[in-house]
Structure 1
Amino acid sequence: MKKYTKCLLMIGFIWVGSGMVSCKKYLDRDPEAIVSAESAFKDFRSFQGYTEELYNCIPDFTNRYWTNSFNWGEDEIQSTVQNFHFVNKIDNGDFWGWQREFDGWGAGFMDNAGANTNNDRFTKGLYPLAWYGIRKANLGLENLNLMVNATPEERDLIKGQLLFFRGWFHFMLIQYFGGLPYIDKVLPSDEPFRLPRLKYQECAAKAALDLRQAADLLPINWDNTTAGIQTLGKNQLRINKIMALGYLGKNYLWAASPLMNFESTGSKTYNAELSKKAAAAFAELLKLTESGAAPHKLLPFNQYSTNFYTMGQNFALPGGTEAIFSGPYWGAHGSTYGTAKQYTPAIVGADALVFAPTANYVNYYGMKNGLPIANSATADPSGSGYDPQSPWRDRDPRFYNDIIYDGVKVVQGTLAANMEAHRYANLFTSGSYRDDRSGSRTGYLMFKFVPRTANNFDQGWNYGQNLNIKVPYMRLADIYLMYAEAAATGYESATATTDGFGKSAVDAINVIRDRAGVGRVAAQFLGSTTEFMKEVRRERAVELAFEGHRFNDLRRWRLLAEVPYTLKTAAEFDRAATLNPAADTKLNKVVNYRERVILQRPFTEKHYWLPLKRADVNMYKEFAQNPGW
């Protein structure tokens, strides 16, 4: 097995060394690739060893570099001390920045010089690893007949994993680039690569076949299988039925969405039939979780942070019962070197590079009664109850969990006398936490993924604190929200249900709101799908805030290039009185509250898709560049 894997990897290294930089190098089969195949694939242990490498093709977007940019919508803005992260390039309309050729620091998770399947998080790039993973999955599927010494269960486990990865890697690519060739066989190295780009929905249909079959073959829980008993208690990240169903539904919903439907059919609306298929897949998953047949369930709100980080638990993997899909984690202490420090302003932090939430995005966190804020500068006494003179009062509880606002206590422990003035977040205009270069540019900080002790004085990121940060690719709350969107757009009603599942679209939204203690969706949003979708989009913005979803959501809804989604703003205000540390910060009053536009992103139609690599589009004319690039 070791000999075979080494040979397989050497092929990739030879291609890289020869200067070939296109996706083709990861798809070709060299004659050496079948050396010792009978030995490599003969039984479950050997074949699973081969399959395990596919897990190392999943980038850890949370911790890919020292500091990490994975929120590219209108949700987040970076301090100006550096400009190498992709979010800065996107803000300038430069989408070439995802490619390593335009990323001199090698900081992004989208690309890398090669398809490295080692245990080094810094070497992972989605684009090369996806193509490599597709080839590897195809090679395994082609050799399933050599698995002669195996039980039916073991065959299903291997085949299910390979099919999942083939579908997942294709999905991850097409969501950024649009329709691509769907590679479902091993491509011989001595034949020209001429496969044309498919339409998005054509590609998604093929991915759906793989993901559906994977869901049918895989168990809910590997611990309950004979093969899985060998690794009992260590199967948390292994591909299972719930993961396959989750991505089956997501693949269908993305294909149904306005951007993808427009690319495929010319219609800028949802594709109702694909939305129905998405809803059915999500319903199948939710029936398993709600019945207890699957171990997944929403974490209680007082354990909400476990979705994203653990502390004092010997670097335990975050996610709890809510995480559905997360990749491997390389080096438990890795996140504390950078990710843990990228949200704290330099005045009390350890790094001048700070990612902060935009004021326009914080506005999506509405009121505790469940109503949205219509205008952050205008009082709404007869509606939501929002008051710009008391902008932190009676807000959605997730606001207090995720966002640091003016007056919140940041440093918990001892401070020198000359630093005492910085114990509390001075986020008012000209406050000490406000600094374009090394602090908040917006009047807010984001602490969703770090404890309040993540500062230079409490040292919450110290090794002894065992802080481990990892944002999942998919969690159960997302499934409920995607189900709501799919059911509503498939059946044109907020109260629509899917056969065999009792919850309606609005019921699914309310499950998430009930967990957080937020008011349910108001009747005024239930009269039409158009009105209901406003709350669906807002709920996704809040519940999934800063988890890397917003950019793709805005793209697939065809809103990315539309105002106000092109704007990033700051909150400007003065304190109405001197800060009283003994008072409830939620009740603090401000004056002169207003929003200031920091930047407007220069997006046009071409920005709905990322540009492909020039080396790839120059291979042959059928592999065309995305429009405008």
Structure 2
Amino acid sequence: MKIKKIVSGIACMVTLAACNLDYHEYANYGKDYIDESYENVIGMITNVYSILDYDFGQTYKGGMLASACDEAEYAYTNNDICDFVNGSWSPANPMSNIWSSSYKAIQICNQYLAEFQGLTFDELKLNDDYRAQMFRYTNSFKEARFLRAYFYFNLVRAYGDVPYFTEMVTTDQVNSLTRTPAQEIFNAIIAECDKLSTELPADYTKLGLDGIAPAENGRVTCYAALALKARAALYAASLLFNPGNNKDLWRRAAEANKEVIETCTANGFKLSKYSELWGPNNWSNNEMIFVRRYNGNISTLEEYNFPMGVPGGNSGNCPTQNMVDAYEMKATGKMWNETGSGYDASNPYAGRDPRFDMTIVKNGDTKWPSKNANPIETFYGGLNAEPLSGATPTGYYLKKYLDSAIDLSANSTTKTSRHSWITYRLGEFYLNYAEAIFQYTGSADNAGEFGMTACEAVNIIRNRTDVKMPEFPTGLSADAFWNKYQNERMVELAFEGHRFYDLRRWKDGDKLKSIIEMKLTKNEDGTITYKRNVVNRVWDDKMYLFPIPQSERMKNPNLSQNAGW
């Protein structure tokens, strides 16, 4: 059997596995049984890259995790994503492929590391690029270690304690594994990434004779290893995983995230314009540490999320009023409902944080998408509003990540473009550091031994060239800073897959009990009336962690269930 056949078989066997952890008999095939051609061997790790997660709606038929928290509401209540918030989530309906896809990737990495090292590929020795190809091969084992750590992070983030193994396992072994404590796995991830940060290349195209084609430059780097280490340290220190508030964990998180900032900025990374964080070429933006580059041009994100009433649009993930309320007033830096903010109830979107208009489509916006000749109308009876079937229930549409140049009309010649999911970008790590140093020192103005305060780190983010929001002042109380920090993180990282997990690691489940919609009515004199509408959702504290899939526990009686499920 060839590796190509094995690798392609992995995908089709995910839902057919006969035992838990997606264990497959092919894991027992030795390398003597497999045709060890260069492309087949390298193809195993390329396959793992294809399993990297992204949140363009591919898992939930258009639904993003934003619609499973307070960032958005999906326009169609029968969408799979709605089961997170309507009480249908359960061990029998686990609502995620994180378990199966992560263990699938981990199994491939374990097999690759165990069985495919030390090959020389003699048939390539006379090729001009033999040295580069051998570098690619030897480096792939470091990539496999990173990818294994990455998928273990995804598992722990969702489930907490999970089975942890770094060797190939037999069927009997895999069906008797118990769950390893989350902190032990976080420690292993951090230790592995610490090693990889000195072993992985910084740039695959600047290696001289070892250099590989630019098309390969989407592979993980030493900076990606530092980023995973830092994010894992932040999660390990957070309340969900650190109920005793061990300050040493917060110190470790501050140190790891500061290392990302210092190393990356010393090597050409910098904060970009906020408006340039997405688009066909965002993968090459100097803020990007690692992105999941989608193979080829697509338009599914636009098909799901362009406004109803626009050719090809289906509304999709509609930002909530909760999300809109998070955008402060530009002139004062105050929330809309604070005294002296400058908010005008008759013109509620004027003078907001510039990131609002870069992220959200509102009533009256023009040229969205760029070929749309009509202003967006989200008032009742408007071109893009109720009672039109599938129109936004919240009064808003999503802009961030969407390509306005795409035209989904029948005769269009620009129906697709390249999309890349942001896995790690520099901006996240200023925020991570701010959180960690604040929790470590207990003050927004105390830098401890790290040389930068929490306020200073946040203000660097707010000082982007196309944002320029007022700085957080010094002297904030701990509660005041924490509230402002959480809000800043919601705004800066909106729709990037963070909020769903942030609220869980902070144990802020109360914020998931309801969302607010904005209902707009156009009056006879042309003015608009705005009315808030609260929509209740189902929340239970057991939802801080995902349920272990019941199908897995039936195969392995040693798998305990998360509390409450």
Amino acid aligned to 2:532: E
Q: In the alignment, what sits opposite 2:251? A: 276
Conservation of the 8 A alpha-carbon contact between 1:24 and 1:193:
no
Q: In the alignment, what sits opposite 1:31? A: 28
1:163 aligns with 2:120: no
- Partners of 1:280 and 1:549 lie apart in 2 by 21
Conservation of the 8 A alpha-carbon contact between 1:370 and 1:518:
no
Q: In the alignment, what sits opposite 1:596? A: 533
Match of 1:138 among 91, 107, 110: 110
Q: Which runs of 5+ in 2 are unaligned?
A: 122-130
Structure 2 length-normalised TM: 0.87
TM-fit CA distance, 1:341: 2.5
- Partners of 1:166 and 1:50 lie apart in 2 by 13
Aligned to 2:515, the other structure's residue is in SS state: strand
1:326 aligns with 2:291: yes
Match of 2:375 among 396, 405, 424: 424
TM-fit CA distance, 1:366: 1.1
Q: In the alignment, what sits opposite 1:389? A: 346
1:531 aligns with 2:531: no
Distance change in 2, residues 1:325/1:527 (3 Å): same
Conservation of the 8 A alpha-carbon contact between 1:61 and 1:70:
yes
Distance change in 2, residues 1:456/1:40 (3 Å): closer
Conservation of the 8 A alpha-carbon contact between 2:364 and 2:375:
yes
1:184 aligns with 2:166: yes
TM-fit CA distance, 1:433: 2.6
Write the deviation string for residues 68-106 of structure 1: whole angstroms up to 9, x where unpaired. Answer: 4332211111223x61321x111202224xx9x759xxx
Write the deviation string for residues 305-335 of structure 1: whole angstroms up to 9, x where unpaired. Answer: x42222xxxxx56452222222242331x2x
Conservation of the 8 A alpha-carbon contact between 2:289 and 2:424:
yes
1:614 aligns with 2:565: no
TM-fit CA distance, 1:607: 1.3
Aligned to 2:455, the other structure's residue is in SS state: helix
1:307 aligns with 2:277: yes
TM-fit CA distance, 1:286: 1.2
Distance change in 2, residues 1:622/1:8 (3 Å): same
Distance change in 2, residues 1:158/1:164 (3 Å): same
TM-fit CA distance, 1:191: 4.1
Amino acid aligned to 2:72: E
1:442-591 paired onto structure 2 within 5 Å: 442-452=394-404, 462-464=412-414, 466-497=416-447, 499=449, 502-515=451-464, 516-523=466-473, 526-560=475-509, 562=510, 564-574=511-521, 590-591=528-529
TM-fit CA distance, 1:576: 7.3
Amino acid aligned to 1:469: H
Distance change in 2, residues 1:370/1:513 (3 Å): farther
**Number of aligned residue pairs:** 551
TM-fit CA distance, 1:344: 2.9
Q: In the alignment, what sits opposite 1:435? A: 386
Amino acid aligned to 2:99: Y
Distance change in 2, residues 1:362/1:36 (3 Å): same
Q: In the alignment, what sits opposite 2:62? A: 67
Bigger drift between 54-63 and 439-448 goes to 54-63
TM-fit CA distance, 1:258: 0.9
Q: In the alignment, what sits opposite 1:405? A: 362
Distance change in 2, residues 1:373/1:9 (3 Å): same
Distance change in 2, residues 1:402/1:541 (3 Å): same
Conservation of the 8 A alpha-carbon contact between 1:348 and 1:455:
no
- Partners of 1:399 and 1:550 lie apart in 2 by 16
1:59-458 paired onto structure 2 within 5 Å: 59-62=53-56, 64=58, 67-71=62-66, 72-80=68-76, 83-86=78-81, 88-96=82-90, 102=93, 110-111=96-97, 126-143=98-115, 146-147=118-119, 157-189=139-171, 191=173, 193-226=175-208, 228-231=210-213, 233-262=214-243, 267=244, 270-291=245-266, 293=267, 295-301=268-274, 304=275, 306-310=276-280, 316=281, 318=283, 320-332=285-297, 334=298, 336=299, 338-369=300-331, 371-373=333-335, 375=337, 380=338, 382-410=339-367, 423-435=374-386, 437-452=389-404
Amino acid aligned to 1:298: L
TM-fit CA distance, 1:343: 2.5
Conservation of the 8 A alpha-carbon contact between 2:371 and 2:405:
no
Distance change in 2, residues 1:215/1:156 (3 Å): farther
Conservation of the 8 A alpha-carbon contact between 2:23 and 2:107:
no
Q: In the alignment, what sits opposite 1:313? A: none
- Partners of 2:26 and 2:165 lie apart in 1 by 13
Distance change in 2, residues 1:614/1:319 (3 Å): farther
- Partners of 1:412 and 1:189 lie apart in 2 by 52
Conservation of the 8 A alpha-carbon contact between 2:27 and 2:168:
no
Q: Which runs of 5+ in 1 are unaligned?
A: 112-125, 311-315, 580-588
Conservation of the 8 A alpha-carbon contact between 2:369 and 2:406:
no
Aligned to 2:344, the other structure's residue is in SS state: coil
- Partners of 2:159 and 2:7 lie apart in 1 by 28
- Partners of 1:412 and 1:64 lie apart in 2 by 22
Amino acid aligned to 2:384: Y
Distance change in 2, residues 1:548/1:414 (3 Å): closer
Q: In the alignment, what sits opposite 2:124? A: none
1:57 aligns with 2:54: no
Conservation of the 8 A alpha-carbon contact between 1:248 and 1:281:
yes
Conservation of the 8 A alpha-carbon contact between 1:495 and 1:505:
yes
Question: Percent identity over the alignment?
Answer: 23
TM-fit CA distance, 1:467: 2.9
Aligned to 1:329, the other structure's residue is in SS state: strand
The CA RMSD over aligned residues, in Å, is: 3.3
Q: In the alignment, what sits opposite 1:118? A: none
- Partners of 1:475 and 1:389 lie apart in 2 by 37
